[in-house]
Chain A
Amino acid sequence: MAFISSGYNPDKPMEDRITDIGPRKYDEFLPPVIKKNFGEWDYHEILEPGVLVHVAKSGDKVFTVRVGAARLMSTTMIREMLEIADKHCDGHLRFTTRNNVEFMVDDESKLAGLKEDLLSRKFAGGSYKFPIGGTGASITNIVHTQGWVHCHTPATDASGPVKAIMDECFEHFSKMDLPAPLRISLACCLNMCGAVHASDIGLVGIHRKPPIIDHAVLDNVCEIPLAVASCPLGAIKPTKTEVKGEKVNTVAVNEDRCMYCGNCYTMCPALPLADKEGDGIAIMVGGKISNRISEPKFSKVVVAYVPNETPRWPTLTKMVKNIVEVYSKNARKYERLGDWAERIGWEKFFEVTGIPFTQHCIDDFRDPAYYTWRQSTQFKFTSHVK
């Protein structure tokens, strides 16, 4: 392997240097029909699952075919998309916020060929490369984070559980048969790069053990005051200990006070939390982003811990599928998962889904916890009251 220089000269780093130019302007990339009708759209319709038509005031139409994707993708895979875009869409495509890929054509006659082409392509392992769906009252792509593939703080994988769940819920991706859109998101730790905290079903990787303290290196790899200050619950204090006969500066953790958020590890690599038995996933339910009918709201923890069962997370997958199916059967048209749970009451939610209620579902974190306790005698009798 010979080093190939692009022209950058390390001896003169500022020579010809271009910085702070920002991204390419979006209008360079818009398909002509979109550019022509920018800001002049009249209405849209979903012709079939995954296929949209947007109609402009001018009468122009753009037809969009939306496909699911694993988000983690190779250049080989991207090149295949580009080949499809060249063949059917004059070299244009776009990605959605939920990591779907959209292929757009300006004439209905081009749709059938595009769809057939997309569905005909499969990986060697048998899965679709470009499954069509994810529109309207369906489950769309699961937004997720890096997980074990590339991150240093995860409590679970992301791509793996997402693949397992989407396989199980595939019919709801390719069919719009739910009461309302259902958004599943997964974050592999509490940092929540994926904004799981306001999804219909939020899956979040959690640790359950306080950090291990690497006394031998702690004082060399981190600032002790920063590690101490990083703990939101004040569970970390500076101390000294003996390592191989030598006194070293280090920290002590008040384990009863730790809620395993991992912020200390972010500040200090000598405080790792990852643990095979300790780590797993919490299931949160009922969040939404949209202002439609009801206000945006956070997801609530309904299952405090599900173990990491590699490679296909069967318990997690079964629980998610169960929530989806019970909601689908019971909610009213247009009713989001959280709105349904609020209408019937959370005690009923636990009863009809058969999810065991545990003490871990009662909030105990600071002031907001108090506002989630029931301050009323208005409750429903369910099997929980003996």
Chain B
Amino acid sequence: MAKHPTPMLDQLESGPWPSFVSDIKQEAEARAKNEKGLDYQIPVDCPEDLLGVLELTYHDQETHWKHGGIVGVFGYGGGVIGRYCDQPEQFPGVAHFHTVRVNQPSGKYYTSEYLRQICDLWDLRGSGLTNMHGSTGDIVLLGTTTPQLEEIFYELTHKLNTDLGGSGSNLRTPAACLGKSRCEYACYDSQLLCHTMTNEYQDELHRPAFPYKFKFKFDACPNGCVASIARSDFSVIGMWKDDIKIDQEKVKAYVGGEFAPNAGAHAGRDWGKFDIEAEVVALCPTKCMTWDGQTLKIDNAECVRCMHCINVMPRALKIGDETGASICCGAKAPILDGAQMGSLLVPFIPAEEPFDEIKEVVENIWDWWMEEGKNRERLGETMKRMGFQKLLEVTGIEAMPQHVSEPRNNPYIFFKEEEVPGGWTRDIADYRSRHQR
């Protein structure tokens, strides 16, 4: 017999898609049975109370979680988010229900041994409920009480050799696509760069010193599988400089129907025979390709590396050999000043260990943003307020046409005093010597 009736949530158990309600119920049952005989360190019925408060919310249609609260582990300013229920008498099991963010390994590969350790920890000291994973990328452990926080941190660091992620006005847990581990498009080792930067900037990750959050994300190619260009202040996207490699025999095999186009991604509908003219050449954004029935030619100087032709014929077309990355800055969601997409700052940068060139760009940006950024202002907003030129100035990068989609269309141009011969200090008497008042 369930502790709280949940007639509305029960309706979310039917249908084919995995039901979170069914899952919470199975967890509630497992905890009640307690087959392993655990001495649960937080209320055993917290999953039931979570369902109870959620059912109440489905009735009230207003959240029943209180505003934050400062909790955390000693010496850190992030990684734990305080959470309290606003109906603690009805739902004592979730009265205190804090979140713990655990830094995920790059690319989110796991062994069952490691995840079992996390499960063991969370069964004993938490609710048994998680997010795999949070939007930023962390393993998110949902629901524990304040006295457990240091114990959880101790076990994570001493037994699991793992650290907390970020929260608050600090560097948020960096995230990467799976890169070279399983993708032929990877232009650099996004997992290694993510891991390196995470470790290099542990202080920034755990001790909030920024105006607001700062996110790194690492995509190994312009397909952008971790969406870095839309959701990170500092987005590193794999790039190549030289020519796309073509295997003409394999192009013909695609044309001849021997290989499925787009790696078989359209197999669910009959789109007709593969038409290289219509599906590749005509869809090229710069029209830099030609096909004469025998040979596919690419005018690589005109190519903007959108990935479409490579995606359509992954066996025949390969990224170039001279690889590195582009850096885009300032992406964010709408709060406060509207959504912003990352703006291209560095068209091409080497991305090899120890990644010093990339670290230099980051640190120059931080020095500036920490000085000039207002409270709760993301980098993108500081860029908008101070101008792109300021970002170029602080990073020592020269302006180039790649920085804009078009040049400015207003002539209200700021010049620096030193750019104008004679400077701005003028003598009114000298002026009047030529002009009557």
Contacts and interface: CB of A to CB of B under 8 A. Distances in A.
A19 B19 contact: no
A358 interface: no
Contacts of A76: 23, 26-27, 30, 128
Size range of the interface on A?
35 or more
Contacts of B40: 1
Contact of B222 (A17, A164, A229, A290): A290
Contact of A47 (B50, B108, B206, B264): B264
Contacts of A164: 12, 15
Interface stretch (A92-100, A240-248, A349-357): A92-100
Contact of A291 (B61, B143, B222): B222
B157 A96 contact: no
Of A22, A64, A265, chain B has the most CB atoms within 10 Å of the CB of: A22
Contact of A136 (B20, B202, B267): B267
Contact of A94 (B63, B109, B262): B109
Interface stretch (B183-191, B355-363, B389-397, B416-424): B183-191
A177 B130 CA distance: 32
Contact of A21 (B11, B63, B161): B161
A31 B110 CA distance: 9
Nearest to B51: A149
Interface stretch (A108-116, A127-135, A377-385): A127-135
Contacts of B306: 291-294
A250 interface: no
A192 B279 CA distance: 35
A10 B151 CA distance: 10
A7 B108 CA distance: 29
A201 interface: no
Contacts of A23: 103-106, 162-163, 195, 198
A152 interface: yes
A317 B128 CA distance: 30
A128 B14 CA distance: 10
B193 to A, nearest CB: 11
Contact of A229 (B18, B47, B225, B375): B375
A187 to B, nearest CB: 7
Interface in B123-156: 123-124, 128-137, 142-143, 147, 150-155
Contacts of A1: 39-41
A8 B154 contact: yes
A97 B17 contact: no
B142 A44 contact: no
A200 interface: no
Contacts of A365: 338
A373 interface: no
B231 to A, nearest CB: 4
B24 interface: yes
Contacts of B26: 74, 76-77, 123-124
Contacts of B65: 148, 150-152
Contact of B128 (A18, A68, A75): A75
A95 to B, nearest CB: 4
B383 interface: no
A197 B334 contact: yes
Interface stretch (B174-182, B294-302, B345-353): B174-182
A194 B123 CA distance: 27
Contacts of B315: 42-43
Interface string B230-245: 1100000000000000
Of A45, A72, A276, A312, chain B has the most CB atoms within 10 Å of the CB of: A72
Nearest to A152: B65
Contacts of A152: 63, 65-68, 83
Contact of B124 (A4, A48, A91, A229): A4
Interface in B19-56: 19-27, 30, 39-41, 47, 50, 54
A131 B154 contact: no
Nearest to B316: A43
B121 to A, nearest CB: 9
B339 interface: yes
A75 B119 contact: yes
Nearest to B94: A150
Interface string B296-327: 00000000111110011011000000000000
Contacts of B103: 22-23
Interface string A266-282: 01010000111001000
Contact of B130 (A75, A124, A167, A195): A75
Interface string A22-50: 11111011110010001101111111110
A124 B22 contact: yes
Nearest to B230: A198
Contact of B182 (A41, A91, A192, A293): A41
Interface string A157-186: 101100110110010010111100100000
A191 B332 CA distance: 10
A184 to B, nearest CB: 12
B16 A125 contact: no
B227 interface: yes
Given A28-B105, A43-B184, A82-B116, A71 B132 contact: yes
Contacts of B155: 6
Given A24-B105, A123-B23, A334-B308, 4 more contacts: A21-B163, A21-B202, A153-B63, A279-B62
The 7 closest A-B pairs by CB, nearest first: A125-B13, A136-B265, A167-B15, A192-B333, A177-B268, A123-B22, A74-B27
25 contacts: A4-B41, A4-B151, A6-B152, A18-B158, A24-B161, A24-B162, A39-B180, A69-B132, A74-B130, A76-B30, A79-B119, A97-B177, A123-B18, A128-B18, A145-B135, A146-B131, A157-B54, A157-B58, A163-B17, A178-B268, A197-B230, A274-B63, A275-B62, A291-B307, A310-B61
